[in-house]
Amino acid sequence: MSGMFFLISALAVGGGLAAVLLKNTVHCALALTLAFAGLALLFLQLDAQYAGFAQMLVYIGAVAILVVFAILLTRGSETPKDGVYSRNWFAGLVIAAAVFAMLGWAVLQSTSVLPHETAEPVVTVQQIGIALMGRYVLPLEIVALLLTAATIGAVIVAMHEKEGAK
């Protein structure tokens, strides 16, 4: 347990909290980017360089930008007059707190049986590539198909309806 871990997890958790709590939607998206960056740094801390950089590229580079575009297209940055929280926010808060209590209890109860390998795994990008093209080639192809379908689907869903098409 290093100070670095606490610093990075404080960044991730703080970014997540700000993304959920801030009033202005654009600020929420920027805080979300901060949380994603903290998570990518946590991945790097866990010696998962490939996943860490994939996280940076996909989340900070693509998903955060997509969220900002969606906010601008829907004029979501205007704070509504009747508050940013839904009517039954208290029930949601209670459910989230209960889930956290449950998860935290489960983790703390099972600390003695959790695996703990101290050896640093040495994984090169070459090994990951060979695994992706060998053992995991079918999931890779399915993900490729899914991404194509999702891209076409998103474009079709968000496309302007033609006048008089109804």
Partner 1 sequence: MTPLASYLLVAALLFSIGLAGALTRRNAILVLIGIELMLNAANLNLIAFWRFGPHPEALTGMMFAIFSIAVAAAEAAVGLGLVIQIHRHAKTTDLDAMNRMKG
Rule CB under 8 A: which of 34-63 touch partner 1?
Answer: 35-36, 39, 42-43, 46-48, 50-51, 54-55, 58-59, 62-63
Nearest to partner 1 of 108, 164 (CB atom): 108
Nearest to partner 1 of 17, 164 (CB atom): 17
Binding to partner 1 (CB under 8 A) within 112-141 occurs at: 114-117, 121, 123, 127-128, 131-132, 136, 139
Least separation in angstroms between residue 3's CB and partner 1 is 13
Site for partner 1 contains 20 (CB under 8 A): yes
Give 47's contacts (C-beta < 8 A, 6+ positions apart): 120, 121, 123
**Phi, psi at 122, each rounded to 5°:** -105, 105
Which tokens hold the place of 128?
């990951």
Is 84:23 a contact under the CB 8 Å cutoff? yes
Instruction: Give the CA-trace dihedral at 129, 132, 135, 136, to 10 degrees.
Output: 170
Least separation in angstroms between residue 53's CB and partner 1 is 11
Q: How many residues does the chain have?
A: 166
Which of 28, 34, 37, 41 is in the footprint of partner 1 by CB under 8 A?
28
